[in-house]
Structures are given as structure tokens and as C-alpha cells.
Amino acid sequence: MTALAFSTSTASTRRELLELLCSPEFERTLEQSRADHRADVRRWLKILGEKGYGALGFAKEYGGAGNQPAALATFETLAYHDISLCIKYGVQFGLFAGSIDNLGSPEQKAKYLRDAGHAHLPGCFAMTETGHGSNVAGLCVTATYDPDTDELIVNTPGRHAYKDYIGSAAEDAQMASVFAQLHVGDENHGVACVLVPIRDQDGNLLDGVHAEDDGAKAGLNGIDNGRLAFDNVRVPRTNLLSRFGDITEDGEYTSPIENPNKRFFTMLGTLVGGRVSVAAAALSAAKSALTIAVRYSDSRKQFGPPDGEEISLLDYLTHQRRLFPRIARTYALRAALDHLAYRFSTDDPEDHPARREVELLAAALKPQSTWHTLNTIQECREACGGQGYLTENRFADLRNDIDIFTTFEGDNTILLQLVGKERLKAFQQEVKAGGARALAAIAAEEVEQWIKRRNPIARRDESIYTDPDAMGEAFDYREARALLNLANGFNSDRRKKVPALESVISHQCDLVHYARAYAERLIFCTFRESLGDDPDEGLEKLLHLYALERLENDRGWWVEHLYFSTGVSAGLRSEVNRVCKSLRPHAVDLVNAWGIPDQLLMAPIATLPFARNERILGGSRGTSGEGVPACSKAKSTQTLPVA
Amino acid sequence: MTALAFSTSTASTRRELLELLCSPEFERTLEQSRADHRADVRRWLKILGEKGYGALGFAKEYGGAGNQPAALATFETLAYHDISLCIKYGVQFGLFAGSIDNLGSPEQKAKYLRDAGHAHLPGCFAMTETGHGSNVAGLCVTATYDPDTDELIVNTPGRHAYKDYIGSAAEDAQMASVFAQLHVGDENHGVACVLVPIRDQDGNLLDGVHAEDDGAKAGLNGIDNGRLAFDNVRVPRTNLLSRFGDITEDGEYTSPIENPNKRFFTMLGTLVGGRVSVAAAALSAAKSALTIAVRYSDSRKQFGPPDGEEISLLDYLTHQRRLFPRIARTYALRAALDHLAYRFSTDDPEDHPARREVELLAAALKPQSTWHTLNTIQECREACGGQGYLTENRFADLRNDIDIFTTFEGDNTILLQLVGKERLKAFQQEVKAGGARALAAIAAEEVEQWIKRRNPIARRDESIYTDPDAMGEAFDYREARALLNLANGFNSDRRKKVPALESVISHQCDLVHYARAYAERLIFCTFRESLGDDPDEGLEKLLHLYALERLENDRGWWVEHLYFSTGVSAGLRSEVNRVCKSLRPHAVDLVNAWGIPDQLLMAPIATLPFARNERILGGSRGTSGEGVPACSKAKSTQTLPVA
């Protein structure tokens, strides 16, 4: 199965879910109290659980459908509806049930997964603490084995160690997957996950469990995020999720993975599904925003030729520049995220190198997708002017909900550094091994030779503007060269005996830049591949626009590395303009192709029939519904600034 | 008086107002219903009016204090409190009362200004229509003179012509300054402003006036924005604000400005105070956000050297890169906006060329300030991770309130095009006149000679990294060259007989790029000038950082124009890093220097005493208030990615 076939395989899941979301019981209220919003989301979650959407990804023996792609498609589709619901779904089924599925033994899965997967056992995922978010290894909650009672004692050592921002912790969860330092005997075996019951079925907190509400947030207010603290709470030894580490009846710690560091990262690695999911869900929000903004800008008119009719906002180059490259990037990211979902769903989880690569892809693409989406929503808001500021037109909620996507499931800036680190390590290993394979293996001399072969004069040719091979080579080159620069930088520090932390800090920005180069190359390649040998003309334009705009954005880098001549670099701007102009006739079709139902889009500026919509679409061409004649053009013929 | 002396002249106004805002009656509730929020803002506005803050800028004979700088300082200071209040203040005193002050006759001022300036006559400013925002000349509401009754008939010809987004229109305003096409006899005399009573003192709508509530907005929900429509509403002829155009008792239209286009722009020009004000108020929000983020990042620790204590977020280069250039830009913009406020307040309003220049400065700086602020708030939110997402820490409201600053008082993208157009016109006039004066006068040949004098080889020297003269020259060069490129582009189109609108559209992005070059040069120069001959070391670093980061940001342009060598360009990144690192010890002082009281900042992550703040500041170094010992370090020594 190809990534494309994979993506279409979920079509029926998407279609049926969209139908459900458009049904009256899923009707949304845009302005409501936090309590009402939470109640709606809770109700919707129950319906999804009952209908089996929560268990789609789990094995049939545990009440699931064994259909990971369908689970991903569900999450992504929910983001067209209320994003609070999408994330609440992710908390219950992806994080809480997922922690049991990924970290539990077969017995533990048999015991809990059916209930968790159908929302009969509401749970939460208690990893982050107030004092430790990105640095998971530094978590402070402890789980200490007590051989006298054969129990684990879960304890929060101070306010900084409260589990914090935990979805469903403030009100709904009855059980928590608690990440804690596991102490057995005198030894700390590092972070492990323990199931801790926190509320009874009536919602009363259990003894020793303390919960606080995180209160109002910028967005996602349909979710009851909160803090949890444990005052020496005792749970049976068997509540330790034991796939990667167990305590025997004799009180001995055992693990199939000897090395604690490796164990830690293997455990975290199984949770990569969350990152894959949020990257995809973010993009759904970008599609909603672009659909609204493009439809409105197409019908809204302002200014025009002297003494002529006003023209559509979308006819202006500045407006095209705001929206079209973002459409292109959304399409391109879609292809890359399909590729990631395909790899995630079909790779053998026991194939460790393949798994590491999935983690790498997710760490590289999640920042791309979430930053792109946040930036796109804002640009769309501004492109719709005052209308964009009204809550009914959706941008406010989209932005406020998506905002935290750049932080959760891994802070974007930290993730990019991890990508840099991983790729650098792989590169160094390849170099040591003397091999030379694929990109990671382009060793120093090779890059230097490459540069000599392609001297600046050669790059003065303008094939880069239209030839996908040339575009791809530019991305390849940047990625390889940036990696080499990184390796040289760290090597030089090592020779100078610069302390490790100081060395890393001084190269942080280079790690981030490299990771972006890696991701943008990947996105270009997967998008290109997804188009096949005989691509549709509109999609091919999008491929070019994606590449040209990214090349323009970082063109200083290519010029500095003598890859582009200054002339080729200077020409990129008008090439981007050219492709934007050529996409004008296709713009509305390109966003409509995403197929978001009007009922989910909601925004009046994008969905009301034109006849009812005159108030909103404006312009001076029409007549009012009340039979009043259109206003006459003012004598003053102010147009856009003309020199 | 210099700009600096001017700025310090308002110190006592600022101090007294801050004291008032910190008093119990101005206490804010972060989470409240729209109705309660509006009620608070309404109450606060009344207090400000009673205390004379609203009339500060008006002449003493009309109940004011004749102190324009103090009025500006008030508006700017209010933005540290609830930004809804700031904008409500602007609507009542700046826009509504301001329209009477700027467009009214002495008799009209005598009649209305005292009440308007003390909030006894609540009003609104009805310019924008649903169908016409940026294109003011195309407004569709009409005001038609009826000689039989000596009245003006104000009428809304359709839904697209509803006045829309009008602050105070939904509930509070009793009178509106309505901008309408003025018809006298058979002639349309273009847009004029008419005072229309819309509600009685009990808040009941008057006959023929229709009002709608705009409902929930992304932010500024303490303001009752709404729509207004007029069904042939009659007002006395003398309600036409008559400074720039009047109707005689005989029903003849007269105006001191013959040319209708010139009249239109002169009228709009008097309203530039709004633009000056919002640029400054936006920057207050950037200061709030940076103060919160820098204080938190200084105390929050995460990761660290192997087996050592965790270190402050602010010790990481990526974090410095996120925050420090934005501190520098905020300082630089502050200087430029002080310069603008000084010019606005002290120039003779009858000196038309000077006035045009103030308009130009405002149009160039308002986009810089508002986009910078919005971008800064978002970066600060992300830099504070999960804490940044909690409403109590302010970023959500700051962002949602400031968002629309990029649209109102002139859409940023449109304003930048106007700047480009204005400067181009001036340049062409200079060239025609054969003169050569200041920047605008650098004609084609001069630029070419300049380039020859400074060939790329010369620019390989690295003085640009440390010498403010060299930095300033780079900004000068870009501005001059970009203007020349624009002129050449339009001339070439004209020779090819490209239709005017098509020509403008194809150069829109160049107009915008030029306007940015103009603004960034201006900001650099005014900031530098404000530092004097013997600048403080910390401030000098900020000047360098501002310049280096802006040079880095657009470095592709300078390389393409052979101004920087590729080597000089490539070195900018590490120069920015170097200055960031050197600013680390000063960072907290630099934000504290803005002097925002903790009571107004509110955010617990930035204001609670450290002892009470352990929950928030986190880290694994302390003990909890409950006497529980600090958690032991986990064995796993994960640090930031080290190669």
C-alpha cells in the first residue's frame, strides 16, 4: 500500500464521522460558559466512545477495530468541529487508553482497554509537572515500592511537582496514568507509568488525591485541564504498566531493556502517536481558516480602476501573497503528514530503526504543521479585516485553540533540536563506519566536491524557477551542507574542549535551522512524490509555489553558500508572484477540494448563500434586499496607491 | 523642546494615571461576561471623563487642558490596564470628540466639545461600513440637503452600507459622527461628516435609527461595537461639521478647499491622531508581554549540565533569540513613536508639508508597531509554555485585544502602500524640479554612483557589525535603492502603457517592501539620536541588536544588491547571537525599566513573590511550602540535545 492508497483507505471513516458531526446532537454554541462548553464536550465524547470511534486503533481482542489509520483520520476530522472535542478525544483514547495500550502488559490491556477505549473509564495522562515539562526525565513525582504491603506509594514532593495542565484532571478522570520516578529498594529506575485511581464513579476524589482546576485558558476551554497531587497514595504493585519494566512478586525490578536511558526513550517513543495526531489535526484548522478567507476574499470587493467597478480582494497581489503560498504549504504538508501516518501505521513497531525514523519525522513535521497553521490562521484573520475579528467567523477560536499545539506533545523548539541531534548522531556514525549512503552519508569531502561541481556560475541558470529536479537539489544541498556545518562546529568545540552544555547552547540556532532544512526537503519530496508522474496542472503549480516561496524565504542562506547567484536569488520574488497570479482562477476550487461541510465551517462570511449575504460581502455593486437603489459612486476616484 | 524632553514632560500625567489605575475602583476581573465587562469599562470611562483625562488635548476654552502630549500619554498608559478601556477612551475622546475638534467650526466646538470631552455626551465615530473599510471615498451612506426644510437627510442605502464595527454604537452612544456622501443640489461633494443624534438620554434609539450589536469579538469585548443604519433621518443643516465644507443658509455648498480630492485627504489627515495613538498603545502591550516573559524565563529552570543543577531558560540562546531582539525593537520603536508624537503635538497644523510628513510617519510606524507587538505577544506566550496558555498570565487577552490593531485606523498593508506612493510622488517631484535634497532626492544617477563608490569588495569589511555609522548607511542605501527600483518599475510600465491598476497591482509587494525599508531606517535613526553622544552601554547594545537583527532578517536583499558580500551576510547570525549573549545580565533590568506596576501586569508567573511562587517557577531545587523534601534528581541525565 502506498501513502496515497493508505490515505484514501480511511475515506469512509471520514465521511461517516463528518455526517455525525453535522447532525443536530453535535451542534455547537460559539459563545457559552466554560461549564456549558465542558458539558457539551463531555456529552460528545461519550457518543464517540459508544459508537466505537475511541477504540478504532486498538486490537480487536480488547474491543477495538485494529484500524490505526481510521483512528488517526478520526482525530484529524474532529478538528473541523470543536477542537476541544478533538483534544478531549486525544486525551481519553490516545493518551490515557493509549498509555495502557503502549506501556501495559497483555493482562493490563485485557483489564482496562475495553472500558478506556469506550469512555466507560474516563482517564487522564499525568506526565507534565508544573516544574518539568520538556525535561521529562527530571519529573519529581515518585512511585516507591513498599515490599511490606506489595504496593506502590505515589507521592508529590512539592508544588513544583504537581501534575499540571492535565486534560480531564479537573473534573472527569477517574484514573490517571501517572509518570513517576520508580524507586525499588534503594534504587531509582527512572521514569515509569503507574495507573492511579483518582475519583470514584460519582466523581468524588479518592483519599490522598488532590485536584485543582487550571481555570480559564486561551483556548480549548471545553476541556477540564487541571493539577493533580498525591499524598502517599497507595496502589497495588500490578498497577505499574509493565511492558518495559516490572516488579516481580519478590520485589525485584526487571526490564527487557537493560540500559535505563534506552528504556526511557523506548517508552517515550511508543507515545509518538500523539505527535503524529496533533500535527495532522492542526492542519485541519489551517484548512478551515483558508477556506473561510479565500471564499470571502473572492467575493469581497474593494477599490478598483478609476471610475470602474471595484474588484475582488483576491485579484490583488498582496492578498494572493498572503493566502496562496499558505494553500500550497498546506497541500505540501498534507502529503508529508500522510507519509508519516502511513509509516506510523504500517511499520513494524518492533523494527527499532524504522521506529526511530517515525519519531524523527514526527518531531520534524509537528513544528512545521503547528507553526504553519497558527501563522495561517492569523494571516487569514487579517486578510478578512473587521469581519475576521468577529467570533462568528471562527478565526478567534481557531487561533486560541491551536496556539498550544506549538507547545504540547513536545515544545516545537525543543523538538527541532532533537531532530538536529538525532540526524547529527546518525551522520557521525555513518562517517565512522566509513559508509556513505543516502543524505545522512554525504561526508565532508563530498559536499566540498559538490560545491566545486556546482559553482555559482552554473547556478545562474534559471532552471530553479520551473524545474522540480533543480528545486529538489537546492533543498538537498541545504540539508547536507547545514548538517556538515553542524558537525564541523561541534567537532571544533570538542577539540577546543568547550564544555558540552556551552557548546550545545552556542549551536542551538544551527540545530533548529538544520531541522527546518530537513523538514522542508522532506515535505517537498513527499509532496512531489504524491503527485505521481503526470500531475494535475493546479497541483503542480502548488508544488512550484511551495518550493519557490521556501527558497525565497531563506534565500540569503543559499546565496551565502554560493549556491544561488545573486541574480537567481533576486528573481525568486517575481517567480513567486508569477505563480500566485496563475493560481488566482483555481483558488476557490483548491480550498473547496478539502470538502469541509458548511455546517462545520460555520463562518457566515464563507457559507451564507450570496443573496442573504449582502451585508457581509458588501461592495457597491448590488442593491439591498429592501429594494433601495445601490449607492452612486462617489466622485472622488481614490484607487489603490498609484504613482 | 526635543523629542526626549517632550516625552519626559508627560511623566506626571503617566504617574498619576498609573496610581488611579492601581486603585481599587479600577480592579479588573479577567473572566467575566460580556455584559459585565462592558459595564466595568463604561464605569471606568465615566471616571476618566469626570477627572478630565478625556479633555486633556482640547483647548481650554472648550473645557480642555490644551495638552495634546498628555492626552497621548494617557491613551498609551491605559493600554497597560484593560485594552478595552483604552480603545473605549479612544472612541469617545479621540474619535468622537476628536471629530468635532478637528472637523467642526468654533461654534460647533463650543456647543459640543465640553460635554463630549467629559463623557457627558457619549458618542461614536461612524465611518466604516460593512462594504467599505479601506476605501473611505467609496462610502455609501448619503447626507442629502433638503432646501425646503433646511435639513440634511441621512440615509443608508442597503445592508452593505450599514456603519459597522462602530465602537459604542451597540449600546452607549447618544450621538454619532456619521461620514456620508454629501449631496447638495444635484452635486455630490464627496465624503463629509454629520452629527446625528441616535439615542435619547435613557438609551432609547431615536426614530429612523437602527442599531445592531456586533456580538462577540476575538477581543476588546468590553466595548459595545455595533452596526448603525439610518432610514432618511433628518438633522439640522448646522449638524454638518463645517470646517472643510459648509452649506450656506441659501443652500449653497462652500469650502475653503476647492479641489474635492485635496479636501478629502485634508479632512482625513486631521484624524491622524488616532493612528499615532494606536501605534503607541500597541507598544504598551508588547512591553507587558515582554516583562512577563522575561521575568518568568529568568526564574524558570529546565535542563542543565549532566549531573548539575538545571539552568534558567534565559541562559539558552534560543530563548534569548526569541526575546532579546524583541526587547531591542520595542526600545527602538519607542524612540520613533516619541519622535512621531513630538512632531504631531508641536508642528503647526496649518503647515501642510509638515502635516503630510506626520501622516507619512504615522502610516509607516503604525504597521511596524502593531505587527511587532502581535508577533511579540505570541512569541512570549510560546516562550512561557503551558503557563503562557493560562488566562491568568495575560497573553491570551493581550493577543486577542491587539489583533485588530493591525486592521483599524488603517489596514497595515494598505497603509504601507500609501507610504510607498507618497514617497514615490515626492521623489518624482524632486527629480522633476532638478533639486537634490535629503534622501528623497537621491536620483537615479546618484544611486548608481553610490554603488560604484561602495563596491562589494569594500563592504567585505566587518564594520557593519559594530559601527552605527555603517549600520545607518546600510539602511539608507536600502531605502534609496528600493525607491529607485520602484520609480523605474512604474516608469517602465508607463512606457509600455500598462493600465494603471495592473501596474499598481504588480508593484504592490515592492511598495510594501519599500515602506518597510523606510520605516526601519527611520526607527534606527530616531533610536540612535535619542541615545545622544554618550549612550548608556546597555542601550547601545540594544541599538546594535535592533540593527543587526533587521539586517539579518532582510540580508538576502543587501546581498542581491551587492551591498553585502556573502561573507559579511553570513556573519550576521553569529553577531546577533553575540549581542544577545551580552545582554543576558541586563535583560530583567531592561524590562523592569518600563515600570509597569505589578498590579497592572497581574500575571502570577511574573509578579508573585518568589516564596509564594514555587508552584509556578518550578525547578527541582526547592522545597515545598509543606515541608516535604525536594525531589531527588532522577538518575537519567537527559540534557538538551548534545551531539
Chain A residue with minimal CA distance to B301?
A131
Contact call for residues B405 and A383 (beta carbons, < 8 A): no
Q: Is A35 on the interface with B (CB under 8 A)?
A: no
Q: Which of B512, B559, B549, B510 is nearest to B527 (CA)?
A: B549
Please provide the size of chain A in residues. Answer: 643
The C-alpha atoms of residue A636 and residue B414 are separated, in whole angstroms, by 18
| CA A124 vs CA A68, A173, A199, B555: distances in Å | 21, 6, 11, 48
Q: Show residues of chain A in contact with B631, CB under 8 Å.
A: 140-142, 157-158, 161, 181
Helix (H, G, I), strand (E, B) or coil at B292: helix
Predicted confidence at residue A452, as pLDDT, reads: 56
Q: Do B138 and A634 touch (CB under 8 A)?
A: yes
**If you average pLDDT over residues A405-432, what whole number do you get?**
93
Query: Is the per-residue pLDDT at A548 higher than 60?
Result: yes
Interface test with B, best of A33, A261, A638 (most B CBs within 10 A): A638
Query: Any idea which residue has 467567523 for its cell?
Result: A393
Q: Which of A408, A430, A110, A70 is nearest to A238 (CA)?
A: A110
Q: Is B619 on the interface with A (CB under 8 A)?
A: yes
pLDDT-based confidence at residue A612 (cuts at 50, 70, 90): very low
CB-neighbour burial class of residue A20 (10 A; exposed 0-12, middle 13-18, buried 19+): middle
What does the pLDDT look like over B249-284, one tens digit per residue?
Answer: 999 999 999 999 999 999 999 899 999 999 999 999
Predicted confidence at residue B633, as pLDDT, reads: 40
CB-neighbour burial class of residue B204 (10 A; exposed 0-12, middle 13-18, buried 19+): exposed
Q: Which three cell numbers stand for residue B541?
A: 547594545
Query: Any idea which residue has 501534575 for its cell?
Result: A163
Contact call for residues A191 and A181 (beta carbons, < 8 A): yes
One DSSP character per residue, A507-535 reads HHHHHHHHHHHHHHHHHHHHHHHHH-SS-
Q: Show residues of chain B in contact with A127, CB under 8 Å.
A: none
Regarding pTM above 0.90, the answer is yes
Query: Is the per-residue pLDDT at A423 higher than 70?
Result: yes
Helix (H, G, I), strand (E, B) or coil at B358: helix
Predicted confidence at residue A434, as pLDDT, reads: 64
Chain A residue with minimal CA distance to B427?
A643
Q: Which of A379, A637, A316, A296 is nearest to B130 (CA)?
A: A296
Residue A577, Cα to own-chain centre: how many angstroms?
29
Beta strands A187-197 and A209-213, pairing class: unpaired
| CA A377 vs CA A103, A542, B378, B412: distances in Å | 36, 19, 13, 17
- Which of A128, A406, A614 minimises the CB distance to B160? A614
The C-alpha atoms of residue B562 and residue B572 are separated, in whole angstroms, by 16
Q: Do A158 and B628 touch (CB under 8 A)?
A: yes
- The residue type of A205 is L
The C-alpha atoms of residue B406 and residue B413 are separated, in whole angstroms, by 9
Q: Show residues of chain B in contact with A478, CB under 8 Å.
A: none
- Contacts of residue A580, defined as CB under 8 A and 6 or more positions apart, other chains included, come to A317, A320, A321, A324, A325, A545
Q: Do B619 and A131 touch (CB under 8 A)?
A: yes
Which residues of chain A from 569 to 588 reach within 8 Å of chain B, CB to CB? 569-570, 573, 577
The C-alpha atoms of residue A427 and residue A437 are separated, in whole angstroms, by 10
Q: Do A635 and B260 touch (CB under 8 A)?
A: yes
**If you average pLDDT over residues B598-626, what whole number do you get?**
59
* Helix (H), strand (E) counts: chain A: 24, 11
What does the pLDDT look like over B136-173, one tens digit per residue?
Answer: 999 999 999 999 999 999 999 999 999 999 999 999 99
Q: Is B219 on the interface with A (CB under 8 A)?
A: yes
Query: Any idea which residue has 482517564 for its cell?
Result: A123
Q: Which residues of B421-448 are buried (b: 16+ CB within 10 A; e: fewer)?
A: bbbbebbbebbeeeeeeeebbbbeeebe
**If you average pLDDT over residues B236-254, what whole number do you get?**
97
One DSSP character per residue, B173-228 reads -SEEEEEEEEEETTEEEEEEEEEEE-B-TTSPBPTTEEEEE---BSS-TTS--EEE
For residue B192, the distance in angstroms to the closest alpha carbon of chain A comes to 12
Query: Is the per-residue pLDDT at A352 higher than 50?
Result: yes
Report the share of chain B in percent with pLDDT over 90: 83
**If you average pLDDT over residues A481-504, what whole number do you get?**
94
HSE value, Cβ hemisphere, 13 Å, CA-based, for A268: 22
Query: Is the per-residue pLDDT at A574 higher than 90?
Result: yes
Q: Which three cell numbers stand for residue B452?
A: 560604484
What does the pLDDT look like over A288-299, one tens digit per residue?
Answer: 999 999 999 999
Which residues of chain B from 337 to 356 reach within 8 Å of chain A, CB to CB? none
Which residues of chain A from 284 to 313 reach within 8 Å of chain B, CB to CB? 302-306, 310-311
For residue A62, the distance in angstroms to the closest alpha carbon of chain B comes to 34
- Which of A218, A424, A499 minimises the CB distance to B643? A424
Compute and round to an integer the Cα radius of gyration of chain B.
27
- Residue B128, Cβ neighbours under 10 Å: how many? 21
What does the pLDDT look like over A197-237, one tens digit per residue?
Answer: 999 999 999 999 999 999 999 999 999 999 999 999 999 99
Q: Is B488 on the interface with A (CB under 8 A)?
A: no
Angle A352-383/A500-531 helices, nearest 10 degrees? 80
Q: Is B181 on the interface with A (CB under 8 A)?
A: yes
The C-alpha atoms of residue B398 and residue A449 are separated, in whole angstroms, by 52
Predicted confidence at residue A462, as pLDDT, reads: 85
Q: Show residues of chain B in contact with A219, CB under 8 Å.
A: 389, 396
Q: Do B631 and A321 touch (CB under 8 A)?
A: no
Interface test with A, best of B360, B431, B614, B635 (most A CBs within 10 A): B635
- Which of B374, B396, B421 minimises the CB distance to A641? B421
Mean pLDDT of chain B: 90
Predicted confidence at residue B42, as pLDDT, reads: 98
Q: Do A504 and B641 touch (CB under 8 A)?
A: yes
Q: Do B396 and A400 touch (CB under 8 A)?
A: yes
This complex has an ipTM of 0.94
What does the pLDDT look like over B572-603, one tens digit per residue?
Answer: 999 999 999 999 999 999 999 999 999 999 99
What does the pLDDT look like over B190-209, one tens digit per residue?
Answer: 999 999 999 999 999 999 99
The C-alpha atoms of residue A379 and residue A183 are separated, in whole angstroms, by 50
Q: Do A614 and B403 touch (CB under 8 A)?
A: no
The C-alpha atoms of residue A429 and residue A441 are separated, in whole angstroms, by 9
The C-alpha atoms of residue B354 and residue A387 are separated, in whole angstroms, by 35
